[in-house]
Amino acid sequence: MFAIGHFALGYLAGKGSSKALKTRINLPLVIVLSVIPDIDLLLEIWNPTVFMHRGLTHSLITFTVVLIPFLIAYGRQAIPYYAVLLSHSLIGDFFTGGVGLFWPISQKWFGNYWMPIGGLADVIAELVLFAIATAIMFKAGDLQKLFRPKNHNLLLFIGFGAVLGPLLSPGGFESVLPTLLVPPSLFWLIVFAYSMFIELWSKSQKPPPGRKTSENLN
């Protein structure tokens, strides 16, 4: 699955579980975590044995080991983010070629191949997920929050890279980006770029520390 589908699944999993647990989610963090398992596409260039694509960074064992310290520190607030990671491997990649769910304990591949990445079924699924998740994001007011200056907007450079990579890479990483996924890719590129810009702009407008503004002189 491409970033378009993973963003949507991650948001739906994170938002749904945060509602059930009555916690809040940080949308830029959800977006980043929804695609972070695919960092192995870059890491496998460095070490293809350890970072075989859809192995270590897609494993439920890795996700659970990473979850434990956050669960201790943040309690149930950490669980929606775990759900985001699970959505990547158990839904997105499971149905588009499978994953090594229990790597490194087992090298067995879990999933199915009837919906290959970049194929028509995958593209339709990603477009439908994009439409549903973006509509909910807008209705819930989460999308609009990306347009307010916040430090964590800058995390979106990872989401930006996950969308830009397949757009710029002629041979693709896992597969060539289907033309139908170009419009949603451009949508996210613009949203992420604007979100990061608004944060950087607001930072540049703040007076240096210690300098009194006309407001605090009054």
Angle at 85 between CA 80 and CA 86, to 5 degrees: 90
Spatial contact of 87 and 58, defined as CB atoms under 8 Å apart = no
Alpha-carbon distance 101 to 162, whole Å?
22
- Please count the CA atoms within 13 angstroms of the CA of 64 that sit on its side-chain side: 6
Judged by CB, which is closer to Zn ion: 95, or 192? 95
Alpha-carbon distance 35 to 2, whole Å?
9
Which stretch, 63-71, 87-95, 112-120, 137-145, contacts Zn ion (CB under 5 A)?
87-95
Smallest gap, in angstroms, from Cβ of residue 31 to Zn ion? 15
Structure-token pair, residue 84: 């985001």
Alpha-carbon distance 6 to 14, whole Å?
12
The answer to whether 93 contacts Zn ion (rule: CB under 5 A) is yes
99 bridge partner residues: 110
Smallest gap, in angstroms, from Cβ of residue 179 to Zn ion? 21
Please list every residue from 27 through 56 that binds Zn ion, using CB under 5 A.
37-38
Smallest gap, in angstroms, from Cβ of residue 209 to Zn ion? 42
Judged by CB, which is closer to Zn ion: 21, or 164? 164
How far apart, in Å, are the Cα atoms of 149 and each of 152, 162, 199, 209, 213? 9, 22, 4, 18, 20
Judged by CB, which is closer to Zn ion: 23, or 175? 175
Smallest gap, in angstroms, from Cβ of residue 5 to Zn ion? 10
Judged by CB, which is closer to Zn ion: 37, or 100? 37
Spatial contact of 14 and 83, defined as CB atoms under 8 Å apart = yes
Angle at 153 between CA 39 and CA 40, to 5 degrees: 0
The answer to whether 126 contacts Zn ion (rule: CB under 5 A) is no
How far apart, in Å, are the Cα atoms of 202 and each of 58, 197, 217? 36, 8, 21
Judged by CB, which is closer to Zn ion: 6, or 15? 6
Smallest gap, in angstroms, from Cβ of residue 183 to Zn ion? 22
Smallest gap, in angstroms, from Cβ of residue 38 to Zn ion? 4
Judged by CB, which is closer to Zn ion: 3, or 196? 3
Footprint of Zn ion on this chain (CB under 5 A)? 37-38, 93
